[in-house]
A = this chain, B = another copy of it.
Amino acid sequence: MAEISYRDAVTRGIAQEMARDPDVVFLGEDVAKPGGCFKATVGLYEQFGGVRVRDTPISEQAILGAAMGAAMTGLKPIAEIMFSDFIAVCFDYIANEFPKARYMSNGQTKCPLVVRTANGAGSRFGAQHSQSVENWCMMIPGLKVVAPSSPIDVVGLMAAAVRDPDPVIFFEHKSLYNSKGEVPDGEILDTLGTAKILRPGKDCTIVALALMVPRALEAAERLRIDHGIDCEVIDVRSLVPLDTKTILGSVAKTHRLFTVEENPRLCGWGAEIVSIVADEGFYDLDGPPVRITTPHIPLPAADIMEDVVLPTPQRIMETIRRGLGS
């Protein structure tokens, strides 16, 4: 057991899988010799060599296309898209190629690959380098979508993603790279499609993802201390497959739902979860299910502005307090 950073957990997860399976290869821009723009892959090139860990040209379509062709023919590629915003320049692979090949071929074509990418705000990079775009992937049938919030989940879900026979989009949160957590020694393998109840509670359910998880936990703690409100906090972890059982089960117990997401307002995963609960858990709900999101605007660059647009523990707390009428 050791405390490692979320950043180092990325390296560890990849290294674990590359050591296990010679078919795992890794490519991306500046990922090999330089160790990645976020230094999340330092040492992989040295450990596994330049044949398995490769720097590419600035050609996101070639990166994802090559990953797909390799996956179709027997390798298990991990491809890095440096910032998740850049998924927009190679979106055809995400939306039209990876997720449809198996279906269109009536099961002939396989596509076991992982796209890992740095998602989310907090670095004052402005509107084109700060987005949370996991909903761009969640909405596409045929993909799996993961976004861990802690170092241990990074390792375990990375392993699960690499071993998964389907295309998995793996969102790492830029503002979590420096965060730390205990990670046991030895191999770690988690399960896609499983949410985690990080904090049990009875007054309401908070569903959060990635950077919003520590914020939701902080809000929950303050709600307990300041208002005696007992929140259940769920880290949804995997958007596809989605652990609706855990979410619906929680709402059946707490009768209230709040989702906390970094996505802009419209059509985020919060809307999906709220819609599922509003339909299937309608009679469990004692009050409106509420989404806490970033407003529907491009992200501003300046620190003081960026800090107020993302859901903060304060805003989460106040929204829940108001929502529960306390």
When C-beta atoms are compared, the residue in chain B nearest to A265 turns out to be B141
In the complex, what residues of B have CB within 8 A of residue A287's CB? 282
Set B103, B128, B274: member contacting A274, Cβ < 8 A: B274
CB within 8 Å for A103 and B298 given contacts A136-B139, A264-B139, A278-B278: yes
- Asked if A95 is at the interface of the complex by the 8 Å CB criterion, the answer is yes
Set B100, B128, B141, B297: member contacting A128, Cβ < 8 A: B100
Set B141, B267, B283: member contacting A139, Cβ < 8 A: B267
CB within 8 Å for A96 and B100 given contacts A278-B288, A280-B288: no
- Asked if A172 is at the interface of the complex by the 8 Å CB criterion, the answer is no
When C-beta atoms are compared, the residue in chain B nearest to A95 turns out to be B88
In the complex, what residues of B have CB within 8 A of residue A136's CB? 95, 136, 139
- Asked if A187 is at the interface of the complex by the 8 Å CB criterion, the answer is no
| Cβ distance A142 to chain B, nearest Cβ, rounded Å | 6
Set B85, B89, B272, B289: member contacting A279, Cβ < 8 A: B289
- Asked if A308 is at the interface of the complex by the 8 Å CB criterion, the answer is no
Judging by beta carbons under 8 Å apart, are B298 and A99 in contact? Answer: yes
Set B89, B283, B297: member contacting A92, Cβ < 8 A: B89
Type the 1/0 row for A75-94, where 1 means its CB is closer than 8 Å to any CB of B: 00000000001001101101
Kindly state the separation between the CA atoms of A91 and B266 in the bound complex, as whole angstroms: 17
Enumerate chain A interface residues (CB-CB to B < 8 A): 85, 88-89, 91-92, 94-96, 99-100, 103-104, 126-128, 135-136, 138-142, 240, 263-272, 274-275, 278-280, 282-283, 285, 287-291, 295-298, 300-301
- 16 A–B contacts from the bound complex (CB under 8 Å): A85-B95, A91-B92, A91-B95, A95-B136, A96-B128, A103-B127, A104-B298, A139-B264, A271-B274, A271-B275, A274-B275, A274-B278, A275-B289, A275-B291, A278-B289, A280-B288
